[in-house]
A and B are shown apart, each in its own frame.
Chain A
Amino acid sequence: MRSPDEPLAVRLSGVSLVYGSRGRFPRRGGNPVEALRDIDATVGIGEFVTIVGPSGCGKSTLLRLVAGFAFPTGGQVAVSGVPVTGPGPDRGVVFQQPRLFPWLSVRRNVEFGPRMAGMPAVRRRERAAELLELVGLSDSAGRRPYELSGGMQQRAAIARALAPDPAILLMDEPFAALDALTRERLQEEIRGIWQTTGKTVLFVTHSVDEAVYLGTRILVLSRRPGRLVLDQASDLPLASDPHTHPAFTSVRETIAAAVRRSASDEEVT
């Protein structure tokens, strides 16, 4: 059990978001869309929290709120105890598409964060080399992003997000666009990176398997408007091979049942 004054990476208190309600998110000729309703959740430092739920339930929206790309219409989002007022280098973001800057080499992409922080060129280079080594891209440092395969691009994106040494890594279905084999390899690698760096990770996925394989805590969101329907702790990611761990099937069944229930729920209005 966590004590109430233990430091938290993220705290969501009664968070709601309605698109198109305040003119902040103008929606062309449509009614307001209630994306999230009254979410209470916390993420402890060093946890790997996965968020799973049916498509359109507000997973990306939730991550965007933590990243500071959007603001809740109700409730509060706090990171490291401070309300979020915008994006910042304390929260690295990896999108579904790698979104590397095509005008920069892979190395210069990774150096972007340190450069914005004013790190001297020599140290920046060392930092980039370190991170490219971590994601296994040392040989591709001088290449342009579009010369890499999708999996390599996503690795580079992870290295870039880690470069400013963020406290929290936010990942929005980062492996969803990859082929199955690459996806499995990258799942394994991100688990390794999490174990070696000790970062707090908030990881959105629509795959129950992925959520169970990676999450030390698994949050299940209901279909729109997204509400938190299950908050399940798990120590599977700490096992040497979670897939073959005896508990894997039972945890997966619990999560899958919650997702199924939430997806078939009548929409509450």
Chain B
Amino acid sequence: MGVCGAVIRGVGLRVGAVLLLAGIWWAVAAAHVWPEVFVPSPGSVWDQLFLTSSVRDGQRGYSGHLLHEHLLASLRRIGLGSLYGVAGGIALGLVIGLVPTVRALLGPLVTFVRTLPPLAYFSLLIIWFGIDETPKVTLLFVAALPPVAVATAEAVRGVHEDYLHAARSLGARRWQLPFQIVLPSALPEVITGIRVAVGVAYTTVVAAETVNGVPGIGGMIRDAQRYNQTDVVILGLLVIGASGLLIDALLQLTARLLVPWRGKA
């Protein structure tokens, strides 16, 4: 029982909720309340899953790419953008948290960037970097960095001074504290920041792919919207959403393995 039972119940609840929603969707589509172009049936979305994943008459999937190629292209952008964002965010957060002068200088800037909708600066990035991968990955990087930086900076400032004192009395030098004490004790909050950052990268990727986004789930959705292929649009949404859930679950698992003391110490 215990953990195992809780996991089974959790999974069961989730599967149940998905089935329920699918059932409602199916019923609404079958009743033809709205035309097919607004609410395609689950069946036609299901068919699109196979059509976009196969080669027919020399045509690869959708817009010249198979579904998984679209997904991988998006995941690659999310992965790179998040990676740079997390690395930059931890470094920036550490410095902001540790050095009051830097906090005064950069703190407001980070908050400013965080409140900007990513699309607002996407145009600028396109002017600077063209329309290939660079502006897309940069967009995700800029979007993913602030949540990590803010979480890290807060956690760094929240480290109890006794830990720093204990380390110094055990012979740690001042310069050893950031990596020996500050970062490890901030890790739980940093990981929460990383989850938020990957989430932000996910919500931003479709926007990043509205410009020259094929291959990419965003580009696929964009093309399908042009031709009123609502079933492909919905397929794209489901695919990006499902992969997002999976990755968040992986991150949560990593967090449990990496910071087993979260909430206990």
Look across to chain B and name the residue whose beta carbon is closest to the beta carbon of A117.
Answer: B171
Contacts A88-B171, A99-B166 aside, 20 further interface pairs with beta carbons under 8 A come to A67-B169, A69-B165, A87-B165, A87-B168, A87-B169, A89-B169, A89-B170, A91-B169, A92-B170, A93-B169, A97-B162, A101-B163, A102-B185, A103-B185, A112-B167, A117-B171, A144-B260, A146-B261, A160-B166, A160-B170
Q: A103-B184, A103-B187, A116-B171 are in contact. Are A146 and B166 (CB under 8 A)?
A: no
With A99-B162, A101-B163, A103-B259 already in contact, the answer to whether A146 and B264 are too (CB < 8 A) is yes
A116, B176: Cβ atoms closer than 8 Å = yes
Known A-B contacts A93-B166, A95-B162; A102 and B261 likewise in contact (beta carbons under 8 Å): yes
Question: Does B116 sit at the interface, judged by CB under 8 A?
Answer: no
Chain B residues engaging chain A, CB cutoff 8 angstroms: 160-163, 165-173, 176, 180-181, 184-185, 187, 259-261, 264-265
- 11 chain-A/chain-B pairs, Cβ below 8 angstroms: A67-B169, A87-B165, A99-B160, A99-B162, A112-B170, A116-B173, A117-B171, A160-B166, A161-B169, A161-B170, A164-B170
Nearest B residue to A146 via CB reads B264
Asked if A145 lies at the interface with its beta carbon under 8 angstroms from chain B, I say yes
What CA separation (Å) do A160 and B160 show in the bound complex?
A: 18
Among residues of B, the one whose C-beta sits closest to the C-beta of A100 is: B265
- State the majority secondary structure of interface residues on B: helix
A142 at the interface (CB under 8 A from B): no
* Nearest CB in chain B: distance from A239 CB, A: 31
Who on chain A is nearest to B173 by CB? A116
A43 to chain B, nearest CB (A): 17
Q: Please, how many angstroms separate the alpha-carbon atoms of A161 and B162 in the complex?
A: 13
CB atoms of A88 and B181 under 8 A apart? no
Nearest residue (CB) in B for A93 is: B169
Q: Which residue of B lies closest to A112 (CB)?
A: B170
The 10 lowest CB-CB distance pairs between A and B, nearest first, are A102-B265, A89-B171, A102-B261, A113-B170, A116-B171, A87-B168, A146-B264, A103-B184, A93-B169, A87-B169
Closest to B174 in A: A86
Alpha-carbon separation in the docked complex, A160 to B162 (Å): 14
Question: Are A95 and B166 CB-contacts (below 8 A) given A101-B184, A101-B185?
Answer: yes
Question: Which residues of the partner chain B approach A116 to less than 8 Å between Cβ atoms?
Answer: 167, 170-173, 176, 180
Which B residues are CB-close (under 8 A) to A166? Answer: 169
Separation in Å of the B254 CB from the closest CB of chain A?
15
Within 8 A of B (CB), among A76-93: 86-89, 91-93
- The answer to whether residues A103 and B261 also contact, given A87-B168, A116-B172 and a CB cut-off of 8 A, is yes
Tell me the nearest residue of chain A to B260, going by C-beta: A144
Which of chain B's residues have a CB closer than 8 A to the CB of A161?
A: 169-170
| B172 CB contacts on chain A under 8 angstroms | 112, 116
Q: Are A164 and B265 in contact (CB under 8 A)?
A: no
A67 touches B163 (CB 8 A): no
